[in-house]
């Protein structure tokens, strides 16, 4: 694992969408977890209204996971 190979804090990002993902990352020795897309539809970020409505947020998440599935690195 990366955390075993480096001497700096490891921050896990990408594909984390719930508490299970956070716990899994921490179990693999990450020191922190960055969650971005999951919160784009909330009222706090200055995301476009199309992203904030349920359809926009769902489409964005589906697109993100589709792109992840097509990634050459998994």
Tokens matching residue 59:
């489409």
pLDDT tens across the length of the chain (74 residues): 788 888 999 999 888 878 898 999 999 999 999 887 777 767 677 777 766 666 656 666 665 554 444 545 44
30-36 contact pairs (CB < 8 A, 24+) = 30/3, 31/3
Domain chopping of the chain, boundaries: 1-35, 38-74
Residue 57 has a pLDDT of: 61
Q: For 26-40, write each residue's pLDDT tens digit.
A: 999 999 998 877 777
Whether the pTM exceeds 0.75: the reply is: no
């Amino acid at each position: 694992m990366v955390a075993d190979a480096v001497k700096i804090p490891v921050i896990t990002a990408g594909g984390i969408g719930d508490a299970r993902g956070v716990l899994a990352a921490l179990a693999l020795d990450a020191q922190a977890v960055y969650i971005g897309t999951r919160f784009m539809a909330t009222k706090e970020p200055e995301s476009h209204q199309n992203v904030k409505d349920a359809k926009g947020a769902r489409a964005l998440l589906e697109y993100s996971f589709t792109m992840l599935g097509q990634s050459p690195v998994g």
